[in-house]
């Protein structure tokens, strides 16, 4: 199995196959004792809908491959994939189900309120992603809203059209309109740094603050696409720069976006993430979470 196929293996079924059974299970979630450490009180939760896990004891989350790294105590991804496949040969892969777009889901969001990021739970989520809390509070907002009569809250990252990207441990969506975000804009900036999502943007700022990453130039504009599919919305703005430093994901979509920008000819485009081929994105670079490109 390759990485994409392995990620479709149901985590709950995998844990049961290796002898770890839930202490509590509902239609949406299952609780376990963490399978890779001593855990007297079950603090390991699997979100069945998203097929991800969260360890409340370590404030750490991930997919089945991240789990395999911890269980088998190796960062050799090829070995992890093989061990997972061998441990659960009879488990069918999860069917891919249709999910409405974030814009479609936005129609059910009501009573939207924004404020300063103060929630302990949301700050803890940022910490689990390695984000500097001061940076998170400065760049993001706390959004409260209702959906189908229930109240929720999430980290909100504003875009140039008044909408927000929404993120918490269990949800990834947006408040329309869906648009790009622009930060640190200087009237005379000739260069910009381009990010796919705001977690990569926050990770970049954190790495710079920690002295682990040098800005590619002096006072660049910082642009977040909020989805690589938004690239077309940013093209007119990007054409105004002399240099674009791309911090896009190390995947086919990210590389195709870089190639498209290079076709503009009037702009010099650098694919910064080529220097970090074993990291999927900037947040993985911040967390030192290596994987095969």
Q: What is the pLDDT of residues 121-145, one digit of tens each?
A: 999 999 999 999 999 999 999 999 9
- CB contact at 8 A, 195 and 222: yes
What's the rounded Cα separation, in Å, for the pair 270 and 169?
32
Q: Exposure pattern of 60-75 as b/e (b: 16+ CB <10 Å)?
A: ebbbbbbbbbbbbeee
Write out the two tokens for 10: 């149901």
Most confident of 18-27, 101-110, 118-127: 118-127
What's the rounded Cα separation, in Å, for the pair 243 and 246?
10
CA 102 vs. chain centroid, Å, equals 15
Residue 249 confidence (pLDDT) above 50: yes
Query: What are the domain boundaries of the chain?
Result: 3-87, 102-175, 181-287
What's the rounded Cα separation, in Å, for the pair 144 and 7?
31
What's the rounded Cα separation, in Å, for the pair 48 and 28?
5
- CB contact at 8 A, 177 and 226: no
pLDDT of residue 100: 37
Percent of the chain with pLDDT over 90: 58
Helix, strand, or coil (residue 200): helix
What does the DSSP 8-state code read for residue 248?
A: -
Q: How many CB atoms lie within 10 A of CB 242?
A: 12
- Helices and strands, number each (H, E), in the chain: 11, 15
CATH of 181-287, one of 3.40.1360.10, 3.50.40.10, 3.40.50.1370, 3.30.460.20: 3.40.1360.10
Provide φ and ψ at 92, rounded to 5°. -70, 150
Give tens-digit pLDDT for 166-224: 999 888 889 989 999 998 766 678 999 999 999 999 999 999 999 999 999 888 999 99
What's the rounded Cα separation, in Å, for the pair 133 and 260?
34
Query: Could you tell me the pTM of the whole model?
Result: 0.65
**Parallel, antiparallel or unpaired: strands 52-55 and 60-62:** antiparallel
* CATH superfamily for domain 3-87: Zinc finger, CHC2-typedomain (3.90.580.10)
For the chain, what is the largest distance between any 2 Cα atoms, rounded to a whole number of angstroms?
61
């Amino acid at each position: 199995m390759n990485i994409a196929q392995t990620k479709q293996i149901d985590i709950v079924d995998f844990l049961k196959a290796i002898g770890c059974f839930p202490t509590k299970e509902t239609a949406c979630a299952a609780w376990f004792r963490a399978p890779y450490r001593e855990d007297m009180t079950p603090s390991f939760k699997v979100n069945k809908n998203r097929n991800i896990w969260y360890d409340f004891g370590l404030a750490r989350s991930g997919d089945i491959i991240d789990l395999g790294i911890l269980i088998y105590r190796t960062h050799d991804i090829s070995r992890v994939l093989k061990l997972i496949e061998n441990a659960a040969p009879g488990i069918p892969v999860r069917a891919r189900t249709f999910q409405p777009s974030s814009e479609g889901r936005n129609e059910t969001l009501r009573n939207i309120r924004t404020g300063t990021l103060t929630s302990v739970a949301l700050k803890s989520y940022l910490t689990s992603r390695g984000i500097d809390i001061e940076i998170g509070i400065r760049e993001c907002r706390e959004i409260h809203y209702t959906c189908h009569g229930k109240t929720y809250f999430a980290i909100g990252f504003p875009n140039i059209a008044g909408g927000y990207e929404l993120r918490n441990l269990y949800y990834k969506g947006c408040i329309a309109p869906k648009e790009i975000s622009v930060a640190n804009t200087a009237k005379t900036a000739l260069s910009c740094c381009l990010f796919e999502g705001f977690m990569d943007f926050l990770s970049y700022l954190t790495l710079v603050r920690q002295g682990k990453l040098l800005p590619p130039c002096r006072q660049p504009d910082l642009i977040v696409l909020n989805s690589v599919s938004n690239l077309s919305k940013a093209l007119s703005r990007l054409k105004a720069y002399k240099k674009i430093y791309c911090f896009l994901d190390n995947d086919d979509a990210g590389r195709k976006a870089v190639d498209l920008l290079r076709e503009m000819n009037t702009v010099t485009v650098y694919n910064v993430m080529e220097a970090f081929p074993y990291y999927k994105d900037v947040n993985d670079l911040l967390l030192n979470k290596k994987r095969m490109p």
